[in-house]
Structure 1
């Protein structure tokens, strides 16, 4: 199974929102997302969509975007971003999702020999305008990522992808509660997005030897990035809690 990742696709079928107001790199969005996806992803592949999936405010509106995603090749694993206001309770969301589409929230997913854990993340101490409220959310998100990873105890897998919406490191590339968990659990790799206009060459490529993949849609030119190629296995999908 090949594993791809992309973040910040910012779909908006219910209420179209041109993204080129954020810069010329968004010209041709969202058509570019669907075109590039179909160029590289096959039906037996898996794609992690690491947050900021839809501008919708409510689930019925977001379902228009999720239905379009469902038509694309591959298994999809969704993670919540800071703009995914439409994201309801996880039980309600999972009941509404199309086949071969999964959502992570405080838990993990095992498919064959691949495990995926993750959390939204948040701004970290030292970030610009970091408030006491940000501190509370940051600590809560670190705890949630820990809970997600703990659900994998007792499960058999060979590869672990840790997915976040926010970057796991601090604003100057320093350690955080998220990087402590990365060091403790030693995933195969980490994916994240959220940042726009950042120079990927100035961001950490590894954390203590573990690859970090920055996959914001505008940075990767709207093409899902191949992060892992595992031997094919056909075990039943297994959500873990």
Structure 2
């Protein structure tokens, strides 16, 4: 059993959005991801998708995007990103999923010898763009991360692998409150996305280990639209 990750799929099957407006490398991006996925992922493997799954605004419009993901091999586990406006209640989203596809929301999922946790996260207070409206969301996401990790305590012998959409650390911001929670709760691996474009040229946030936790940036364009093997 292998564990892979790739974030920020940004699908738009219901109302197609040309992703190459973000760069020529985004042209036919999901075809590239799917081809790599089908070649490498077996039925017992796990693929983590840390948010920004679909551009849809309504849950029903996200159905073809979710179906596209569900059709791929392996166990798929997803969390919400900041662009996943279609995301409804846990029950409503779960009702659309099939073929070993799952979401995390204040809970965890055990597979093999691992237990998977996660939450969206938010902009870090140390970021210059952090404003007054961000504080309430940030505090709520800390609680959600803690709830997910608390739920994993019923699997005391399992390794914890955590998904977040927003980076829980940054190049010169490694002792964040998110990082403190992850370290305290014994996370082994963390995968996250959200970062795109020119910013990727100036950062190194893949395979960063701090506080005993390994952090992996898995934005689709950062990975050249190929899955990253985590374990």
Q: Say yes or no: TM over 0.5.
A: yes
Tell me how far apart the structure 2 counterparts of residues 178 and 145 of structure 1 sit (CA, whole Å).
8
Q: Which string of whole-angstrom CA distances, capped at 9 and with x for unpartnered residues, describes residues 46-101 of structure 1?
A: 10111000101111111101111111110100110000000000111112211301
Alignment TM-score, normalising by the size of structure 2: 0.93
Deviation at 1:208, TM superposition (A): 1.6
Which residue of 2 is the match for residue 191 of structure 1?
A: 191
Deviation at 1:141, TM superposition (A): 0.4
Once superposed, what is the RMSD of the aligned Cα atoms? 1.6
Q: Which string of whole-angstrom CA distances, capped at 9 and with x for unpartnered residues, describes residues 214-237 of structure 1?
A: 100001011111101xxxxxxxxx
Which residue of 2 is the match for residue 92 of structure 1?
A: 92
Task: Please identify, of 155-164 and 81-90, the stretch whose mean Cα deviation from structure 2 is larger.
Answer: 155-164
Which residue of 2 is the match for residue 214 of structure 1?
A: 217
Which residue of 2 is the match for residue 238 of structure 1?
A: none
Which residue of 1 is the match for residue 39 of structure 2?
A: 39
Task: Please identify, of 78-87 and 88-97, the stretch whose mean Cα deviation from structure 2 is larger.
Answer: 88-97
Which residue of 2 is the match for residue 202 of structure 1?
A: 204
Which residue of 1 is the match for residue 107 of structure 2?
A: 107
Deviation at 1:156, TM superposition (A): 4.4
Residue aligned with 1:153, SS:
helix
Tell me how far apart the structure 1 counterparts of residues 5 and 141 of structure 2 sit (CA, whole Å).
21
Residue aligned with 2:115, SS:
strand
Tell me how far apart the structure 1 counterparts of residues 110 and 157 of structure 2 sit (CA, whole Å).
7
Residue aligned with 1:92, SS:
helix
CA contact (8 A) 1:200 1:214 kept: no
Q: How does 1:31-180 map to 2 (within 5 A)?
A: 31-170=31-170, 172-180=172-180
Tell me how far apart the structure 2 counterparts of residues 89 and 124 of structure 1 sit (CA, whole Å).
26
Which residue of 1 is the match for residue 13 of structure 2?
A: 13
Q: Which string of whole-angstrom CA distances, capped at 9 and with x for unpartnered residues, describes residues 166-190 of structure 1?
A: 1111473332221011110121211
CA contact (8 A) 1:125 1:170 kept: no
CA contact (8 A) 1:120 1:164 kept: yes
* Structure 1, unaligned runs of 5 or more: 229-241
Tell me how far apart the structure 2 counterparts of residues 21 and 123 of structure 1 sit (CA, whole Å).
25
Deviation at 1:209, TM superposition (A): 3.0
Residue aligned with 2:109, SS:
strand
Alignment TM-score, normalising by the size of structure 1: 0.90
